[in-house]
Amino acid sequence: MNTTTRSLTVSGQSIPLDPPRPPKKPHMLLWIDTETTGISRTNAKLLEIGMIVTSMDGATEHDRYIRPVRPDKLSLYDLDTTVLRMHLDNGLWDEVMDGEPDLIGYRQTALDLSEFLADQASQYELHPAGTNVDYDIDLLTNQLADYIHPDWLRDFTNHRKQDLTSFRLADTALGNNPYKDHAGTHRVTDCITRDRNDYTTYLDLLRTAQEKTE
């Protein structure tokens, strides 16, 4: 173990250096979900972004960023027929088409999202959470690359993520079907609420198992 003490010499006197360390930021989950025109993480276009910051158990909400997004270039041909029908039914397509491009376009979205995350990261250690988290991170990075540094999202977040897919695959291995009630509305707040509820359920199972061993 390195026990060397650094010092500074002033007027012939050695003054030990022990600078104060900034207080550790509390760890939080950053729930992320996106709605898109398809499933490609490089070419699918953003239609809605949702981010909600919660406590590590997912129970207490701290702040959120929810926004419909209007891509710079968008055509009906960009959407799979099933995806188009889904977003017509849930109202998202109307919100995207009715929104002001200057307010919900890629450029302003990138700026606002960066500001939101910078503020949250200044207060908390953020762990990305959700379903297939890396897909959402890659998609946001690729689609907003013209307006923001490519590593912006990873710079604001911890490399340790909470991906509900791991829990669900383990559940599947036990012969269960964790996806049976996952139809939903395909809006970001609905999907994040579902993920938080599932996460709470899995935590309860882990807590019960822990209590039985104590």
Q: Which domains does the chain have, with CATH numbers?
A: 27-213 (3.30.420.10)
**Is the per-residue pLDDT at 23 higher than 90?**
no
d(CA 49, CA 53): 14
- Let me know: does 126 contact 137? Beta carbons within 8 Å: no
**Which class for 124: exposed (0-12), middle (13-18), buried (19 or more C-beta within 10 A)?**
buried
pLDDT digits (tens, 9 = 90+) for 32-65: 999 999 888 988 999 999 999 999 999 999 999 9
From 144, 159, 47, 53, select the one nearest 99 (Cα to Cα): 47
Instruction: Give the rounded percent of residues in the chain with a pLDDT score beyond 70.
Output: 90
**Is the per-residue pLDDT at 10 higher than 80?**
no
Q: Which residue has the higher pLDDT, 5 or 182?
A: 182
d(CA 142, CA 33): 15
Instruction: Give the rounded percent of residues in the chain with a pLDDT score beyond 90.
Output: 72
Cβ atoms < 10 Å from Cβ of 205? 12
Which pair of tokens denotes residue 83? 């995806």
Residues 6+ apart with CB under 8 A from 57: 200, 203
**Is the per-residue pLDDT at 155 higher than 70?**
yes
**Is the per-residue pLDDT at 1 higher than 50?**
no
From 201, 200, 188, select the one nearest 91 (Cα to Cα): 188
Q: What is the mean pLDDT of residues 154-170?
A: 96
In order, the DSSP letters of 88-157 are HHTSHHHHHHHS-HHHHBHHHHHHHHHHHHHHHHHH-EEEEEESSHHHHHHHHHHHTTTTS-TTHHHHHS
> What pTM value is reported for the model?
0.87
Choose the most confident range, by mean pLDDT, from 15-29, 77-91, 97-111.
Answer: 97-111
Q: Long-range contact list for 202-210, CB < 8 A, 24+ apart?
A: 202/164, 202/167, 203/57, 203/58
pLDDT digits (tens, 9 = 90+) for 185-198: 999 999 999 999 99
